[in-house]
């Protein structure tokens, strides 16, 4: 416990460490491309690209297509050499592909979920299948998990197996604060008024769900990183990831928020993509569904609901004892969760 007479001295020391950490941070470059080398394998419309990370293991395994969310940049999956799901898959012998959605421009405001799922994603999966000689396994992350499920239902021939990671399926579960906030928003009007949805607007929404942990607590601990360049660099990369988000294509954003979070259309089978209803019961590929037990964005019941609706496919689920970001960046995730994913994909 701090002695009353030491409070001023400790505060001064904390301020000195903070200044030192800030000075050191200013000298560190922050690369947002990720830690693992890749080649740009294909260019698509609307600025989307397909990355290819070559396999590094002795035994070559099936291709994996990573489907990330539209909301953030994907480099959290490859944050550092020590904390990289992508590198772990490459080390296991998988050629890894990642569809980088790019950053929407003004004319992209009219892109729909059909454009993203039945256009860009389906095209990437087909290109991989053609070049690799077999359909890829899909690893869908958060919103990207929804897209992966939709593709598996629409084009089963282009998907061999599925890993869904912190993926919302039932958006009406208790404790779903994001869904509760969404009920009060007219997303179509927001899209008509704003055009592409500004990243700053969405970042504000996500911070509002957990303000103390994402603001006060994180920065109060920053002085402890002074003199530890590796830890400081990791901190800065995560900061860049959190606030270097792309804007959202207006039509697709409104459609996703309205259909999933307001109407729960993925769960009840009324979500339409490319003129077809997405029925989870049509999915026959094996699924590994991973959720985080302390997830404030995708509560466990929201993710676990998938199991009750894909009865025709071999289904496994895996609970991770952590939060939404913990499944990507925590030491425990890379010690325990990532090897489980690698092992399942090798089966």
Write out the catalytic residue numbers: 142
- The secondary structure of 74-89, three-state, reads HHHHECCCCCEHHHHH
Cβ–Cβ < 8 Å for 69, 121: no
- Helices vs strands, H then E, count in the chain: 17, 10
- Asked if 158 contacts 97 with a C-beta cutoff of 8 angstroms, the reply is no
Q: What are phi and psi of 20, to 5 degrees?
A: -60, -45
Residue with the two structure tokens 């302390």: 294
Greatest pairwise CA separation for the chain in angstroms: 72
Residue with tokens 């059909």: 114
Return d(Cα 282, Cα 196) in angstroms, integer: 33
Apex 103 CA angle, 200 and 144, nearest 5: 90
CB contact at 8 A, 292 and 298 = yes
For residue 318, give the nearest of 283, 285, 345 by alpha carbon: 345
Residue bearing tokens 């050191």: 24
**Which phi-psi region, left, alpha or beta, contains residue 300 (left: φ > 0; alpha: ψ -120 to 50)?**
alpha
Task: Answer yes or no: are the C-beta atoms of 293 and 300 closer than 8 Å.
Answer: yes
- The DSSP symbol for 72 reads S
């Amino acid at each position: 416990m701090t002695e009353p007479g030491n409070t001023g001295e400790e505060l001064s020391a904390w301020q000195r460490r903070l200044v030192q950490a800030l000075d050191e941070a200013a000298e560190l470059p922050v690369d947002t491309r990720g830690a693992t080398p890749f080649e740009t394998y294909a260019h698509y419309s609307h600025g989307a690209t397909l990355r290819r990370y070559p396999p590094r293991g002795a035994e070559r395994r099936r291709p994996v297509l990573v489907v990330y969310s539209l909301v953030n940049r994907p480099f959290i999956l490859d944050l550092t050499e020590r904390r990289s799901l992508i590198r772990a898959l490459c080390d296991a012998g998988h050629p890894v592909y990642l569809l980088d959605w790019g950053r929407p421009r003004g004319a992209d405001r009219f892109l729909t979920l059909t454009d993203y799922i039945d256009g860009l994603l389906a095209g990437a999966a087909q290109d991989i299948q053609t070049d690799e000689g077999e359909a890829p396994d899909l690893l869908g992350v958060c919103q990207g998990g929804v897209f992966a499920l939709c593709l598996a239902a629409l084009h089963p021939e282009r998907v061999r197996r599925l890993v869904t990671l912190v993926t919302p399926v039932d958006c009406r579960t208790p404790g779903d604060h994001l869904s509760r906030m969404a009920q009060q928003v007219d997303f179509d009007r927001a899209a008509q008024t704003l055009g592409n949805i500004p990243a700053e607007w969405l970042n504000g929404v996500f911070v509002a769900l957990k303000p103390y942990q994402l603001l006060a607590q994180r920065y109060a601990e920053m002085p402890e990183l002074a003199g530890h360049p590796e830890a400081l660099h990791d901190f800065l990369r995560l900061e860049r990831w959190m606030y270097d988000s792309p804007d959202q294509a207006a039509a697709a954003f409104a459609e996703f928020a309205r259909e999933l979070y307001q109407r729960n259309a993925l769960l009840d089978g009324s979500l339409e993509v490319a003129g077809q209803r997405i029925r989870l019961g049509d999915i026959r590929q094996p699924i590994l569904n991973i959720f985080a037990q302390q997830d404030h964005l995708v509560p466990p019941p929201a993710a676990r609901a998938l199991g009750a609706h894909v009865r025709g496919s071999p289904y496994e689920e895996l609970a991770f004892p952590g939060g939404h970001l913990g499944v990507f960046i925590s030491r425990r995730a890379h010690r325990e969760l990532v090897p489980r994913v690698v092992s399942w994909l090798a089966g």
